[in-house]
Structure 1
Amino acid sequence: MSKKRHRTEHHEEHADETWLIPYADLLTLLLALFIVLYAMSSVDNKKFEDMSKAFNIAFSTGVGVLDNTTVVETGQQMDDANKDKKRSDDEDQKKKEEKERQALMQQEQEDLEKLKKQIDQYIQSNGLTTQLDTKLNQSQLMLTISDNALFPSGSATLKPDSRSLAGAVANMLKQYPEYEIIVAGHTDDQPISNREFSNNWELSFQRAYNFMEILLNNSKHDPKLISPIGHGEYRPVDTNDTVLGRSKNRRVEVSIIRRYADPEKAQSITAASATKQ
């Protein structure tokens, strides 16, 4: 009987191959890195910012860059969202400022109505209804004083009793030192030429200036906020063809100017006044 030859088979021992998994992951990450670097070398700054935002989102949310093809667009979406938020904040700020302005306008309206009432009461109690008048509109509170209540004919020197009138007006203005005041003098169209004045402009300005001095001496109003101006015969409120009309044109106007006037309403009033004149 022949002997059977026993062949001894040598089996190779296989090493642990689990290291291939992290190695493959590393290669994948390196490949992704090189792709990004290559892309960065050929894109502009805007694309780079978008890519940066995309990676920030991916790392903060756990969404893989390669798993979401729209992640690059998210950077632009964030920009749009920020712009919308800024626009909304700006609108809210404008609404807040407008609300504050409306409140200030309302307070100013109440203040000027109170001042007008005080002046009207003074006019009534002193029997000056034919010589003084008040008017409140969207741009100012105006006190109109006829010239014969203040000055002799052709003169800019205040009458003795008119000084008490100017003092009373100044005393009422003490409560509102923050308002701008304009004192304007007006005449009729009758020419004047004497030793004091060569024309109506000079006369109207000097009358406004002298009345302003009384206001300043009695109210201590800030000189920066009060000014005189002379218009001569060039802004009449009535015809110069009659004695009554000319008497209305000879006047001094004390205007307390609004600080929070509605620009549109004030402009329409000014235009209407200019048309009337």
Structure 2
Amino acid sequence: MTAPARRRPAPALRVGSALRWTWIALVVAVVVFPVWVTVATAVSPPGRTGLAAMFPAPGDLTLDNVRTALAGFPLVRQFGVSVMVTALQTTAQVVLAAAAAYALVFPTWRGRTVAFVLILGTLAIPGESSVIPNFQLVSSLGLRNTVLGIVLPFLAVGYPVFLLRQAFGQLPREVWEAARLDGASHLRCLTRVVLPMAAPQVVTAALWCALAAWNGYFWPLLITDTPEQRTVQVGLAQLAAGESTTPAVVYAGTLVVLLPTLLLVLVGQRFLVRGLATRAR
């Protein structure tokens, strides 16, 4: 017997597939191109611009621009400030969000729906509307030019609460009830039962908080006035505003600032995808 001939896909299907892959390639190019320009220009020889900087020869790669960016501005000190701000702010936001989400899902108490609606309402409040009260509060506490002054207004935010509340609501309630019947306290139920089962969503919330903290610009600029106490985002803006700063040095500083966020996303990518997929169900 002869094998049945393979059916070729219809021309319309081939055209549709080609258009789809062309569109995907264009989107990838648009996303990757700025990163490529930043990295290539940062490691090009000083003074190069245009296509020569965007496509350097392998033998021309150098870190001179990175050294200039780190030597001319206190980016190393500001990098350390940003690390401390990100660590403190992310830890506080995730801990408080997990506790709030647990209280909104598992214990039964009157008014928890109203409380959740109020928390959602904070997401609609523009951050600029609270700048002056926050500035007055931090100044009255004597916390200007300090890491705590940068972190204080952002210890608790609504979005991680919403994300974890949705995640905790999908967990089997029977496991929590069994733990409570065994005499486990609410703190033990949260740390030993709920958080391990919702680990991908917790990591997703932590990544969101960390990226928001690392990329913060306006508030650190407002609450600090000494270069050594400012975050690396503010330092990068000052680097770009320098009269003698070349574009290659600015790209080198941008690369230094960009690396931690890329590492965070790469390390937490698996949890991030699982967390967002679970949330979308």
TM-score over 0.5 for the alignment?
no
Which of the pair has the greater relative contact order for Cα pairs under 8 Å at 6+ separation?
Answer: 2
Q: TM-score, normalised on structure 2?
A: 0.28
Q: TM-score, normalised on structure 1?
A: 0.29
Higher helix share: 2
Who wins on radius of gyration, i.e. which is larger?
A: 1
